[in-house]
Amino acid sequence: MISILSLLFESIPEHPDTLIIRNEFYSDGLTQRDIYNYYMKNKQKILEQTKNREIMIFLATDLNRVIVKRKIKDSFIRLDSSNYDKIISGRTLSIISTMNRYENFGIIDIDYHDFNVAKEATAKIYDYLYRINKNLKIFFTGKSSFHIRYGFDMKYPIDQIRLKLKDILQDLADKYNINYKRNKEQPNLDLSPNKYRGGFITPFSLSIKGLQCLPVLRNSLSTFKQVDAKIR
């Protein structure tokens, strides 16, 4: 059996042609080489996003099989320029950042199984929020949904941010579920990442599908497709 710790410190792939992902987006699959090269190319972007944050890593143990690693030797994982090349490997499928106790932003996760419905909801919610606050960013999560990052003018306790966002979104409660579990009826505006050590996919990380978590401009949202986030 492969040691989980050895997966974390495998670094340069010993078996670069080993397939890690095969799905509807990558019919020929993604190899350890593909994933390793992607993360090395985007090292600075990832480090900028994970600075001063604890992270979790989705590690591929076999084709389309992943585990979550939260700690190394009983310590939460943090990335920096001195350990990035040691921790990130061809089996590092996805990097999840976590919230600190105080933040100057919150995340609204437009959670729905249908990509086109999620995209339409994201546009409507963004337009609604933009009338209140122009400090907004949209991120494709690399799966079927989107995050709207809502910026504040100062840092607040993360639990307070969750309550602020819930209040702001109340006028949409007749159209969307707010902070409930996903269902097939309508998109859920999930606020659960907004808690201490709450997880959210790191911008420019890959998702477990091998698609990039990318910023998407509002005026590009209608034409954005999942395949636009492929790494090759």
pLDDT digits (tens, 9 = 90+) for 157-198: 999 999 999 999 999 999 999 987 667 789 999 999 999 999
- Considering the domain architecture, whether residues 88 and 148 belong to the same structural domain is answered as no
Say what the pLDDT of residue 14 is.
80
Predicted structure pTM score: 0.92
Residues above pLDDT 90, as percent of the chain:
89
Helices 32-41, 43-50: crossing angle, 10 deg rounding: 70
Confidence category of residue 9, pLDDT binned at 50, 70, 90: low
Question: 121 with 61, same domain?
Answer: no
Q: Which is nearest to 108 in space by CA: 145, 143, 144?
A: 145
**Domain span including residue 15:** 4-98
Q: Three-class SS of residue 61?
A: strand
The verdict on residue 108 lying in a domain is: yes
* Same structural domain, 90 and 111: no
